[in-house]
Each structure stands twice: as C-alpha cells, then as structure tokens.
Amino acid sequence: MLLTITTTHPPATELGYLLYKHPQRCQEFPLSFGTAHVFYPEATEERCTAALLLDIDPVRLVRGKPGATSQGGTLEQYVNDRPYVACSFLSVAISQVFGTAMTGRCQDRPELAQTAIPLLAKLTVLPCRGGEGFLRRLFEPLGYQVTAQHHLLDEEFPQWGQSQYFTVELQHNIRLCDLLSHLYVLIPVLDDEKHYWIGDDEVEKLLRHGEGWLTSHPAREQIISRYLKRQGRLIRNALLQLVEEDNPDPDSTEERHAQEEEAVEQPISLNQQRLDAVVAVLKQNGARRTIDLGCGEGKLLRILVKDSWFEKITGMDVSYRALEIAQERIERANLAPKQRERLQLIQGSLTYKDKRLTGYDCATAIEVIEHLDLPRLAVFERVLFEEAQPRTVIMTTPNIEYNIRFENLPAGKLRHKDHRFEWTRQQFQTWANQVAERFGYKVQFLPVGPEDPEVGSPTQMGVFALVI
C-alpha cells in the first residue's frame, strides 16, 4: 500500500515533472478498489521523495459496494493483508497514477525521462514468497542494490517465526519508466497472488511491461509462470473453508507438495518409470478393464487411454479438483470420441465400499496407500480386496529405505507432506502378505527404479493376483 520513490538527481524536485504530480500538493486518485494518494514527504533540490499511498477498504472489498446487488467482492476474508502490503493492487495503482511516467514520456522534461538517474524505491511491506533469495534473484540481475529487512510475525511470539514480509529498498541508476515497469511486474510475482482474474490480456501486459529486460532475465521462467498465476483457480473450493483451520490453500499447497515430491525424486524421473512398470504389469495380466484408484490428475490414465489395447479405463479420486484437472488434460489430448468414451472419471473414496468399483480386471493404487492414516488402512483393504475384488491389484508405495539416496531430501523427512507414513521393504511386504493371505490373493514384489544393493529401489510395487 505504500511505495516511495526518491531521487538525488539535482534538481531533485524535477521528479514532480516526471511523475506529473506537484510536490507541494497532496493529490487523490479514485481507483476501483479504493483511493490513491500521492504526496511528497521531502522535496528539496538535493533529495525529493514521492509517496504513493493506497487506501484500500477491506470491508468494502469483501462485501462489495454498499447497495450492490451481488454479494461478495474482490476479497474473501475480512482479516486480510491486502490493504497493507505491496501487491497487485499497487501495480494497478502504479499503472493508473503514474501511467504516463511509465511510458517514459514527459512533456516538460523529455530528456530527463529518458535518462538514467539515481533512484531509490522503498516498499514498506513487500510479501516475498520465496524469501530474500528470490527477491534478490529478481532485482539484482536488473542492476539494483537491494536492502531487505525481514519482519517477525509477532514480536511477542518470536516462536511463530518470520513473516513473509520485508521492508525493501531498491537502489539503482535507472530511467524512472524502467523502475516503474520492474515494480509493476515484479511486485505481484514476489507476492505470487493477484486480486483479479487472469485472462489473455495479461500475457500482453506482461510482454509490454517486460519489454527490453524480461527476455534476458535469468529468472524469466519463474517470473512468467508466477505472473500468469499458472491457472485460474476454478474452485476456491469447499475444502479451503473447511480445512482452513490448519491447512492453508489446498490447491496451491497440494500442487506445491506434489512438485516438491517430484523435485525430490526428479533425478531419475521416477514417476515415469513407475508408470511404465504399471503399464507393463497391466498388459502381462491381461487387464483390459482397469480402474485407477487415487488417479489424481490422471497421469496413468492419459497413458492408458492412448493405448487402444485397454478397453475400459476408470479413474477415481476423492479430490474433485484433481479430477477436474485430469479431465481438462484429457480433453486437451484431443482424443477421438471412440477413444475418449472408454474413459470415465468418478469421485469416490477408498474408505467407503462402492459398487462402482466392481467389474474390473485390475485395480491400480499408485502411490496411494501412504496418503491414508494407518488405522484407516484396514477399511481400504476390505473395500478393495473384499468388496471390489478385482483379479489383479497393482500397488506402489515409496521405499523409505531409499530416502537417504535423495540428495535434496532432509534426513527423516517423508517425500510428500501429506504422506502419513512411508514403509521399508520389509514393512510393505509383511503388510501385503497378510492382506493377500486374508483375502485369497497371491502377491509378488517388484522393484521400480534403479535398484541399490543396500537400500533397494526407490519405489516398491506389489502385484496381487486373486487365487481362483
């Protein structure tokens, strides 16, 4: 909500010309989400500072304007940092209040506008998702000298740790229009959030404001990806509200955790090897009708659906959001209707018996069981082996012994934040043998990924065959 720009380029007060704002006045600019004030806390020949102060009313942003018919507005929460921090609201304000300055034009001082002058931008509260390192990676390649002060969440509760907020000073000899463009793009990138819907025109905006610097920026990919918010959030779903208590945003954390797990396992592209192994076993077992339990975003489904050997493919997951993503990705694959109709997606749970799970040759549960609380596993066993009772069951789960071979996984940490457990080979095999025994199956174990003589393979697979 607060940005100051200071110059020491004499006569410093000419900053007023560049910004089109008179140093002796406090000016107000109405914006759709509040009011912007521009004033100068200091204005001498040696040093001149312009302040852009945003006045955002959170109550109005949640409730909508008084008298407006539609409920709700830009924000969901009354208790919100948006009015106080530098975020996309500030970017919008910059482009509207300093719009001309941003283009690099200035009627009265055209040359000055095109001259690199010593400028200091200060952001009182800048959320930096990714920390100081990321902040520096964004601004230092552009030539800024960065000073950042990190803030505790609450000085009375130091044990709560650091906040995401920094007070940041950016110093550089640079044209004003470039400074404004950098801020315009990089503030929301650091914040990793936008208050408005991301449409096609956002790409155009990014290219316009990134002209001349974005292409060569070493963090280009991250900037683009964050600026465009990856995907619209289709559903800020129910889960959000319910699980809010102690789970932040399910969508983004989910995705982040998945990425983390992938990152951990990446060097050997374990996921691909896992899926290849599953497909091979499916074919060996003649499993033309297959159901993927806990299909997630549909990685296995997309492989199966393209192979016309499979006759019926069903993906089940408990997360509706994951199923929607799976569906989007499958639609994007542009399958022929004949191919597409072999596949269906259903929402279901591994802890409820479900007659829709019957009638398949094989059920796969790829990296699924470790997401169940151990005490709930007994129910899952019955749902799958007693009620659904497919001829073949393929299960994979991490081999915890292998974790020490992952360089970027801290010791003792599980691969994914939602993993409720990870098993050694012995633990998995003991469990699987008991299950097979109890429900009339035979089980075989296969390694997935490179086998280490000491700790085995990163993923372990159990193939259960119903004894007829």
Partner 1 sequence: MKLTIPELSLVVLIGASGSGKSTFARKHFIPTEVLSSDFCRGLVSDDENNQSASKDAFEVLRFIAAKRLAAGKLTAIDATNVQPEDRKFLVALAREYHCIPVAIAFNLPEKICHERNQQRPDRNFGTHVVRRHVQNLRRSLRGLEREGFRHVYVLSSVEEIAAVEIERQPLWNDLKHEKGPFDIIGDIHGCADELEALLQQLGYEAINHPLNEGSFWNTPVYHHTQGRKAVFLGDLVDRGPRILDTLKLVRNMVLTGNAFCVPGNHDSKLMRKLKGKNVKINHGLEQTLAEIATLPDTTREPFSKEIREFLDSLVSHYLLDSGRLVVAHAGMKQELQGRGSAQVREFALYGETTGEIDEFGLPVRYNWAAEYRGEAMVVYGHTPVPEPEWLNNTINIDTGCVFGGKLTALRYPEKELVSVPAAQTYCNPIKPLFPQPSQDFALTAQQKVDELLDIDDVLGKRFITTRLQSQMMIRQENAIAALEVMSRFAANPKWLIYLPPTMSPVATSTEPGLLEHPKEAFAYYQQQGITEVVCETKHMGSRAVVIICQNVEAARRRFGVTDEGIGICYTRTGRRFFDNPVLEAQLLERVNSALTASGFWETFHTDWVCLDCELMPWSAKALELLRRQYAAVGISSRLALTEAVSLLEQASQRGVEMSDQIDRYRQRAEMAHQYVTAYRRYCWSVEGISDLKLAPFHILATEGTVHTDKDHVWHMEQAAKLSQFDRTLLLATTYKAIDLNNPSSWAEGVRWWEELTAAGGEGMVVKPMQFIVKNTWKLVQPGVKCRGREYLRIIYGPEYSTPENLENLRQRGLSVKRSLALREFALGIEALERFVAHAPLRQVHECVFGILALESEPVDPRL
Residues between 155 and 174 with contacts to partner 1, criterion CB under 8 A: 156-157, 159-161, 163-165, 167
153 near partner 1, rule: CB under 8 A: yes
Task: Give residues 380-409 in contact with partner 1 (rule: CB under 8 A).
Answer: 382-383, 387
Q: Which listed residue (10, 59, 145, 358) binds partner 1 by CB under 8 A?
A: 59
| Of positions 101, 323, 368, 435, contacts partner 1 by CB under 8 A | 323
112-151 positions binding partner 1, by CB under 8 A: 124-125, 127, 151
Note whether 85 and 2 are within 8 A (CB): no
The binder of partner 1 chosen from 16, 34, 83, 298 (CB under 8 A)? 83
Return the residue of 10, 32, 46, 78 that touches partner 1, per CB under 8 A: 78
Nearer to partner 1, 205 or 353 (CB): 353
Q: Does 298 bind partner 1 (CB under 8 A)?
A: no
Strands (E), 144-234: 145-152, 162-174
Binding mask 220-249 for partner 1 (x = CB under 8 A): ---------------xxxxxxxxxxxxxx-
Minimal CA–CA distance to 18: which of 209, 177, 235, 225?
Answer: 177
Asked if residues 424 and 361 have their Cβ atoms less than 8 Å apart, the reply is no
- Candidate segments 9-17, 112-120, 318-326, 440-448, binder of partner 1 by CB under 8 A: 318-326
Q: Which amino acid is at 299?
A: K
Q: Which of 8, 74, 80, 171 binds partner 1 (CB under 8 A)?
A: 80
Q: Where does this chain touch partner 1 (CB under 8 A) — which range of 111-119, 188-196, 197-205, 317-325?
A: 317-325
**Which residues on neighbouring strands pair with residue 344, listed in sequence order?**
314
| Alpha-carbon radius of gyration of the chain | 28
For 170, the enclosing helix (H) or strand (E) is strand 162-174
Residue 378 and residue 385: Cα distance in Å, rounded? 11
For residue 235, give both structure tokens.
Answer: 């559903």
Binding-site size for partner 1 (CB under 8 A) equals 85
The CB-of-379 to partner 1 minimum distance in angstroms stands at 6
Query: Which whole-number Å values give the CA distances from 109 to 26, 106, 115, in the listed order?
Result: 22, 5, 10
Among 10, 11, 41, 110, binds partner 1 (CB under 8 A): 41
> What order of strands is seen across the sheet that includes strand 48-56?
27-31, 34-43, 48-56, 2-7, 117-127, 162-174, 145-152
Beta strands per DSSP E along 240-310: 289-293
| Contacts with 40 (C-beta within 8 Å, 6 or more apart), sequence order | 16, 23, 24, 48, 49, 50, 51
Q: How far is the CB of 303 from partner 1 (least distance, A)?
A: 20
- Site for partner 1 contains 341 (CB under 8 A): no
Q: Among candidates 173, 205, 214, which has minimal Cα distance to 95? A: 205
465 near partner 1, judged by CB under 8 A: no
Which of residues 51, 393, 395, 436 is near partner 1 by CB under 8 A? 51
Contact between 85 and partner 1 by CB under 8 A: the answer reads yes
Among 112, 146, 148, 152, binds partner 1 (CB under 8 A): 152
Q: Are 436 and 443 in contact (CB under 8 A)?
A: yes
Span near partner 1 by CB under 8 A; candidates 56-64, 393-401, 407-415, 429-437 = 56-64
Query: Would you count residue 379 as binding partner 1 (CB under 8 A)?
Result: yes
Tokens of 193: 């959030």
Is residue 258 a contact point for partner 1 (CB under 8 A)? no
To the nearest whole angstrom, how small is the minimum distance from the Cβ of residue 341 to partner 1? 14
C-beta of residue 121 within 8 angstroms of C-beta of residue 5: yes
Give kind and range of the element (H or E) at residue 460: strand 459-466
Least distance to partner 1 from the beta carbon of 394, Å?
A: 21
Considering the rule CB under 8 A, would residue 260 count as an interface residue with partner 1?
A: no
By CB under 8 A, residue 84 contacts partner 1: yes
Q: Which stretch binds partner 1 (CB under 8 A): 39-47, 97-105, 206-214, 456-464?
A: 39-47
DSSP state of 33: T
The verdict on 414 binding partner 1 (CB under 8 A) reads no
| Nearest distance in Å: CB 453, partner 1 | 37
- Taking the complex as a whole, the smallest distance from the CB of residue 455 to partner 1 amounts, in Å, to 28
CB of 296 to partner 1, least distance (A): 13
For position 253 contacting partner 1 by CB under 8 A, the verdict is no
Cβ-based burial of 127 (10 A; exposed 0-12, middle 13-18, buried ≥19):
buried
- Collapsed DSSP state (helix, strand, coil) of residue 348: coil
CB atoms within 10 A of CB 48: 24
* Stretch touching partner 1 by CB under 8 A, among 96-104, 179-187, 344-352, 441-449: 344-352
Evaluate whether 55 touches 27 at the Cβ level (below 8 Å): no
Judged by beta carbon, residue 60 or residue 105, the one nearer partner 1 is 60
Reported for 246-251, long-range contacts at CB under 8 A and 24+ positions apart, including other chains, are: 250/321, 251/321
